[in-house]
Amino acid sequence: METFFALNRYLHIAAGFTGFFVAPVALAVHKGGRAHRRWGLVFFWAMVVAGCTAIVGSQHIHSTFLLLTAVFSLYMAGFGYRSLFLKQLAWDARVEAFDWAVAGVGVAVFLSTVAYAFFTRTIPVGVFGALGTFTAFRQLRGYAKAGHWTKNQWLLNHISGFLASYIGAVSAFSATSLHFIPFPVNFLWPTLIGVPLIMWWHRRVRGQRVAVAPGSGLSGSPVLALRK
């Protein structure tokens, strides 16, 4: 059993470091281009592997924080990825039952996380629980307004999801490895840096026009152009 957990740890480290270095590349290259799509997919699957192995590892070292940040990072990665398939909600009010269910489960899970943080007085867990709850509620509200989205809402969701997933992963790494940073700064500094970055990206996107090829999707090479 120890061999299994050791292999799980190595896989987690490999996936985590892949995600750490790939995310800036995906942000730096031309948005919507082939390189952006390629590195974005690498980041997504790296976060999936890192999150799943973190959940397994958290059971071994009995770390509730690692477990909850892994769930947060996985949910946000899924949110960012799924948004690529929801461009049609700008004109189509039909929302899949799958999307409603995921957002509903997200609300329940993250509200439970907030409750846990309140009773255990665990501030970092409460921060991630609150961010997750806010995101899941916004998803539900967005689905209720399907058919009336702005054309770039899917892109705002995509940015929020992937960057939040990255924040969660970096926070877990910092809390478990960067012991020279005092508590609770070691848990929270990625959020303090990352949230303003998400807000900056949102302002940038809202100030530009987005052109999306009709019927485009991830499997069909989506076309995205940001224009001033």
Confidence check: pLDDT of 218 > 70: no
Contact 68, 128 (CB under 8 A): yes
Query: What ranges in 145-180 are assigned the alpha helix state H?
Result: 153-177
**Statement: residue 217 has pLDDT above 60:** no
| Residue 151 belongs to domain spanning | 2-227
Kindly state the tokens that stand for 115. 């409750």
pLDDT of 165 higher than 60: yes
Give residue 216's pLDDT: 36
pLDDT of res. 209: 58
Mean pLDDT of the chain: 87
> What is the predicted pLDDT for the residue at 194?
92
Residue 118 has pLDDT above 70, yes or no: yes
What DSSP designation does 218 have? G
Distance CA 8, CA 12 (A): 6
State pLDDT tens for residues 187-199: 889 999 999 999 9
d(CA 105, CA 102): 5
Please state the pTM of the whole predicted model. Answer: 0.86
What residue type is 132 in one-letter code? G
pLDDT at residue 222, rounded to an integer: 37
Neighbour count for residue 137 (Cβ, 10 Å)? 15
- pLDDT for 129 equals 93
* Total domains present in the chain: 1
Q: Which of 3-12, 22-31, 74-83, 215-224 has the highest mean pLDDT?
A: 74-83
pLDDT of res. 58: 86
